[in-house]
């Protein structure tokens, strides 16, 4: 039986093909989960913000935020009070390699 | 070996959200750059950018307000303390002008032609009303760059920009003269530069009116200077949806007011005060004739009243000025 006839010969073969395609599709859904890590900096954005906020030199803050610390605090406060912005918790599902996982545990 | 795990829960604090937003608008940074700087995905950066934008949009009606109470309608200190302006401009409560803010248009969003402004780039025409202490009183963003200032003003007046009957704003010659908007005399020296170059003193009532009109109206040029200096994103096309770009202008004006109200004068205002008078108007004299087709929904009677009002102010200024010269010489 030629390859072509294997594809087109019978109903059951078609179904097998569909199953196979379905399998490939399903597998492709997992591809994004095992991609190479992209954000690799040890300084996360949150830590960076914390760094700016905790710096004693007012110039650092001014240069970064283009406003005085008091103004920034007032803005955060007023947006929080009005419930227009809130601290939001987010989590991401990801696959870590074993060694990364253990490293993360150590940190 | 791989382990499927819920990566650590993290909190994105309000401070962090604002930090991201400010980082974008003060560096006119792209989402991609910001994402890498903050170690988030572009999607996360975008989401929080929009949340902060919406939040600022929500409070804008609270921070950008027209003067209505007696306290806000009192003669501004900038006028009372300056004998060049007081008592002539005592009923003046601010200045208006349009500014062209660059926009990017996606193919299917709007017709590009309408947004091509007279300076050649794609822009939205933003009408701003400001008081002399450099706070915005009213903002109308989103008009096509090709629209003329008079048309935008007309729209603003229909959308809730109201002026107390006996008060007025200063406007440049691109607008029509009405009792609520005093414009300079046409065909007479107007720009501060013109006065600065020649040492010649004002020669008549019209000239002295125009000179003082220009230096008081300068507030609106300065406020735009401050705004664009602090938030350079307004000087550059950014790749957001058109609606977002329109919202952004108002949000940043709101932020400007917030800083102004809570922080008083900071370095940006001082810098702008120092540098602006020489570069008062980059249009130069073009300004006078830039809108050939003025939209003037004013009746002839109104026009007459306005002219009379302006002549009266000019004449009084001129008489006092002559007196002053005689006294000093």
**Contact across the interface for A80 and B20, Cβ inside 8 Å:** no
- The predicted-structure confidence for B146-186, as pLDDT tens digits, reads as follows 998 999 999 999 998 999 988 999 999 889 899 999 999 98
For residue B272, what pLDDT is reported? 53
Complex ipTM: 0.82
Task: Measure in Å the smallest separation between the Cα of B85 and chain A Cα atoms.
Answer: 32
Nearest CA to B56 among B282, B192, B231, B215? B231
Distance of CA B167 to the CA centre of its chain: 19
Residue B103: what are its φ and ψ, rounded to 5°?
A: -130, 160
Cis peptide before B87 (omega within 30 of 0): yes
Collect all residues of chain B within an 8 Å Cβ-Cβ radius of residue A76.
Answer: 14-15, 18
- The predicted-structure confidence for B49-68, as pLDDT tens digits, reads as follows 999 999 999 999 999 999 98
For residue B16, what pLDDT is reported? 94
> Is residue B231 pLDDT above 50, yes or no?
yes
- Tell me the DSSP string of A87-98: -EEE--EEEEEH
Task: Measure in Å the smallest separation between the Cα of B272 and chain A Cα atoms.
Answer: 15
> Is residue A16 pLDDT above 50, yes or no?
yes
Within 10 Å of residue A24's Cβ, how many Cβ atoms?
Answer: 9
Collect all residues of chain B within an 8 Å Cβ-Cβ radius of residue A71.
Answer: 258-259, 262-263
Q: Which of A71, A85, A94 lies nearest to residue B5, judging by beta carbons?
A: A94
> Is residue B325 pLDDT above 60, yes or no?
yes
Would you state the structure tokens that stand for residue B183, as one six-digit string? 């414009």
Low-confidence winner among A24-38, A63-77, B135-149, B312-326 (lowest mean pLDDT): A24-38
A18 or A52, higher pLDDT: A52
CB-CB contact of B57 with B251 (8 Å): yes
Q: In sequence order, which ranges of chain B are alpha helices (DSSP H)?
A: 14-27, 31-38, 42-63, 70-73, 77-80, 112-115, 149-158, 192-197, 205-230, 242-263, 267-275, 300-328
In whole angstroms, give the CA distance from residue B225 to residue B232.
10
Half-sphere exposure of A43 (CA within 13 A, CB side): 8
Dihedral angle, C-alpha B72, B77, B78, B80, nearest 10 °: 120
**Contact across the interface for B258 and A93, Cβ inside 8 Å:** no
CB-CB contact of B168 with B176 (8 Å): no
What pairs with residue B123 in β-bridges? B102
A78 or A9, higher pLDDT: A78
CB-CB contact of B34 with B44 (8 Å): no
pLDDT-derived band at B266, boundaries 50, 70, 90: low
Q: Searching chain A, which residue's CA lies closest to the CA of residue B11? A: A89
**In degrees, to the nearest 5, what angle opens at C-alpha B113 toward C-alphas B112 and B114?**
95
Would you state the structure tokens that stand for residue B24, as one six-digit string? 């974008």
For residue B288, what pLDDT is reported? 34
Name residue, tokens 């915005």: B136
B94 membership: H or E segment, kind and range: strand B92-102
CB-based contacts of A70, cutoff 8 Å, min separation 6 = B262, B263
- A/B interface, count of CB pairs below 8 Å: 131
In whole angstroms, give the CA distance from residue B135 to residue B94.
10
For residue B91, what pLDDT is reported? 93
How far separated are the first and last CA of chain A, in Å rounded? 60
For residue A29, what pLDDT is reported? 59
Work out the mean pLDDT of chain B and round it to a whole number. 84
For residue B103, what pLDDT is reported? 94
How far separated are the first and last CA of chain B, in Å rounded? 94
Residue A105: what are its φ and ψ, rounded to 5°?
A: -65, -35
> Is residue B292 pLDDT above 80, yes or no?
no
Q: Which of B9, B52, B262 lies nearest to residue A74, judging by beta carbons?
A: B262
Q: If DSSP codes are grouped into helix, strand and coil, which group holds residue B170?
A: strand
What pairs with residue B129 in β-bridges? B96, B138
Q: Searching chain A, which residue's CA lies closest to the CA of residue B15? A: A76
**Contact across the interface for A85 and B266, Cβ inside 8 Å:** no
Q: If DSSP codes are grouped into helix, strand and coil, which group holds residue A58?
A: helix
> Is residue B274 pLDDT above 50, yes or no?
no
pLDDT-derived band at B110, boundaries 50, 70, 90: confident
Over residues B39-56, the mean pLDDT reads 93
pLDDT-derived band at B286, boundaries 50, 70, 90: very low
- The predicted-structure confidence for A74-107, as pLDDT tens digits, reads as follows 999 999 999 999 888 765 544 444 444 445 444 4
Q: Which residues of A touch B (CB under 8 A)?
A: 33-34, 39, 41, 43-46, 48-49, 52-53, 62, 64-68, 70-72, 74-76, 78-80, 82, 84-98, 101, 104
Work out the mean pLDDT of chain A and round it to a whole number. 71
For residue B72, what pLDDT is reported? 83
**Contact across the interface for B22 and A65, Cβ inside 8 Å:** yes
């Amino acid at each position: 039986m030629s390859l072509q006839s294997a594809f087109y010969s019978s109903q059951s073969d078609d179904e097998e093909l569909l199953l196979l395609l379905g399998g490939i599709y399903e597998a492709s859904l997992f591809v994004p989960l095992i991609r190479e890590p992209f954000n690799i900096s040890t300084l996360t954005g949150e830590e960076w913000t914390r760094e700016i906020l905790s710096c004693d030199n007012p110039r650092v803050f001014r240069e970064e935020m283009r406003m005085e610390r008091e103004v920034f605090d007032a803005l955060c406060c007023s947006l929080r009070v009005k419930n227009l912005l809130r601290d939001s918790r987010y989590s991401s599902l990801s696959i870590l390699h074993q060694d990364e996982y253990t490293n993360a545990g150590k940190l | 070996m791989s382990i499927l795990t819920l990566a650590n829960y993290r909190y994105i604090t309000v401070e962090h959200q604002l930090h991201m937003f400010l980082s974008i608008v003060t560096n006119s940074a792209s989402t991609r750059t910001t994402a890498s700087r903050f170690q988030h995905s572009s999607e996360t950066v975008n989401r929080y950018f929009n949340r902060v934008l919406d939040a600022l949009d929500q409070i804008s009606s609270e921070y950008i307000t027209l003067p209505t109470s007696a306290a806000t309608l009192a003669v501004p200190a900038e006028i009372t303390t300056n004998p060049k302006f007081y008592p002539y401009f005592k009923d003046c409560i601010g200045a208006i002008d349009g500014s062209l803010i660059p926009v990017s248009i996606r193919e299917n969003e709007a017709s590009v032609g309408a947004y091509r402004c007279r300076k050649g780039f794609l822009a939205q025409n933003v009408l701003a009303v400001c008081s002399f202490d450099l706070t915005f009183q009213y903002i109308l963003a989103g008009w096509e760059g090709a629209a003329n200032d008079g048309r935008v003003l007309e729209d603003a007046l229909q959308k809730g920009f109201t002026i107390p009957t006996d008060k007025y704003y200063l406007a440049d010659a691109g607008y029509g003269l009405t009792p609520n908007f005093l414009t300079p005399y046409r065909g007479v020296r107007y720009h501060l530069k013109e006065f600065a170059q020649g040492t010649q003193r004002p020669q008549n009532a019209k000239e002295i009116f125009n000179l003082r009109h220009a230096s008081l109206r300068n507030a609106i040029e300065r406020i735009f200077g401050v705004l664009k200096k602090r938030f350079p994103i307004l000087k550059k096309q950014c790749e957001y949806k058109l609606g977002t770009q329109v919202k952004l202008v108002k949000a940043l004006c709101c932020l400007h007011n917030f800083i102004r109200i809570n922080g008083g004068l900071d370095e940006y205002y001082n810098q702008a005060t120092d540098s602006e008078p020489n570069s008062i108007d980059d249009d130069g004299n073009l300004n006078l004739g830039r809108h050939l087709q003025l939209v003037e929904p004013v009746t002839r009677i109104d026009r007459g009243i306005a002219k009379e009002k302006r002549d009266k102010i000019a004449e009084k200024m001129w008489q006092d000025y002559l007196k002053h010269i005689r006294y000093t010489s």
